[in-house]
Amino acid sequence: MAYTILVVDDSETIRAVLQRTLAMTRLPIESVIEAINGRDALEKLADSWVDIVFTDINMPEMDGISLVDAMIKNPEYKDIPVVVVSTEGSATRIEELRKKGVKGYLRKPFTPESIRDIILQTLGAWDEV
């Protein structure tokens, strides 16, 4: 199974770094879709099937937490796993995100190994690799 991944970050640099890093994981990735904020991500979700969402927290217009809230409320998106990618390291904040249903947390800067691990853990696909 090849994955379609939605990357949500207002930084063009981080979106590009994530694209590069995902390519280095050697996971079967069909496509990586980019969105510049939560609102853009919801539009992309309406257009495409996505297996997993990687989202930043702090973004203009619609942040990552609002995106998670909107996805939970939508029956079509509520089961799509979300991984938050952020610079923040507060255990309290991470626990809040887990309670909201966020499946994983990846801290910047990240490595190909950490991304690979979190995708496999989140999608429960260790046996397929």
Partner 1 sequence: MKFETIEDAAKSVIGRILEEAAFIFTDELSPEDRPHVDSWKADGVRLDFKGNPSGHLHMWASDGFAVYAASNMLGIDPDAEHAKEKGMDALKEILNMVVGNLITELYGESPVFDLGLPTQLSIDHLKADMSDASGIWLSAEENPVLFTFYSSTPV
Query: Shortest gap between Cβ of 3 and partner 1 (angstroms)?
Result: 22
For partner 1, the closer CB: 12 or 43:
12
- Residue carrying structure tokens 């969105």: 35
Q: How many CB atoms lie within 10 A of CB 128?
A: 10
Query: Shortest gap between Cβ of 56 and partner 1 (angstroms)?
Result: 9
What is the contact surface with partner 1 in residues (CB under 8 A)? Answer: 10-14, 16-17, 20, 57-60, 86-93, 96, 107-109, 111
Query: Shortest gap between Cβ of 57 and partner 1 (angstroms)?
Result: 8
For partner 1, the closer CB: 17 or 72:
17
For partner 1, the closer CB: 74 or 90:
90
| Burial (0-12, 13-18, 19+ Cβ within 10 Å), 108 | middle
- Residue 38 makes CB contacts below 8 A (sequence gap 6+) with 8, 55, 59, 61, 62, 63, 64, 66, 67, 70
